[in-house]
Structure 1
Amino acid sequence: MTSKEMLEIAVKAGDSKRAEDIVALDVEQVSLVADYFVLMNGGSKRQVQAIVQAVQDEEADAGVIVRRVEGKAEGTWVLLDFGDIVVHVFQEEQRQYYNLEKLWSDAPLVNLTSWLGETA
């Protein structure tokens, strides 16, 4: 499975649990860690955990193994490491505080429009 396919699965899974402000950064040229970073947020600890579970479940269904999970119990910033992609699920306050988009500003944004559902 390609990293782009893994990215699509993660984005759609987050969107299915109403994750907000989903952004993907193509970090392949600026980081040795992964090809993509995915950032999204939920409105509460419970929603963050539901988003994380959905991403894990959908990736597992596709045969992708999570290498590491950090922060799931706290539910304020959860990191899911799938090797080629790293998914960050935040509560809004933590996302604003850590501002990973600024930290990785050299990485181009990935257009996710076709993968995201309609907003009402």
Structure 2
Amino acid sequence: MLTDKLLQDTLSIVEEKKGIDPILLNLEGISMVTDYFLIVTGNTTTQVKAITEKLTEKLPELGLQVLHVEGLPEAKWVLVDCGDLVLHVLTPDQREFYKLERLWGDAKVVSFSAS
């Protein structure tokens, strides 16, 4: 079960590694595969790898199992499958080309108000 805290903690990991323009999409009722997408950009393949490595290190500590990682070592578009949460870490050109936010345009963007 994904909680707001778990989703916020996941976003914090991405922000800690200087991920650019993270967007969290709620796909509940839209996708039969997953409930959430987190899409983030890394400036270079090195940064994409660094973000991915930090996620795969820290997510299990938060109680979120990493089921599969795809896209390494090229690191232009890395997919981290955690079941109910799928993370997409892309280089700027890949994010612009695939426009996942538009592909899932009917999904709600999840935001957390500052407390």
TM superposition score normalised by structure 2: 0.92
Deviations 1:54-107 (A, max 9, x none): 111111112321111100211100000000100000000000000000100000
Alpha-carbon distance change, 113 to 87 in structure 1, aligned in 2, over 3 angstroms: farther
Counterpart for residue 6 of structure 1: 6
- Return the offset for 1:10: 2.0
Identical aligned residues as a percent: 36
- Return the offset for 1:35: 1.0
Alpha-carbon distance change, 113 to 78 in structure 1, aligned in 2, over 3 angstroms: farther
SS of 1:74 mapped into structure 2: coil
SS of 1:88 mapped into structure 2: strand
Counterpart for residue 97 of structure 2: 97
Alpha-carbon distance change, 79 to 114 in structure 1, aligned in 2, over 3 angstroms: farther
Looking at structure 2, the residues matched to 73 and 89 of structure 1 have their Cα atoms a distance apart, in angstroms, of 13
Question: Runs of at least 4 residues of structure 1 off by over 3 A?
Answer: 3-6, 112-115
Alpha-carbon distance change, 13 to 31 in structure 1, aligned in 2, over 3 angstroms: same
Aligned length: 115
5 Å matches for 1:1-120? 1-112=1-112, 114=114
- The answer on whether the counterparts of 1:71 and 1:79 sit within 8 Å (CA) in structure 2 is yes
- The answer on whether the counterparts of 1:22 and 1:40 sit within 8 Å (CA) in structure 2 is yes
TM superposition score normalised by structure 1: 0.88
Gapped regions of structure 1 (runs ≥ 5): 116-120
- Return the offset for 1:113: 5.5
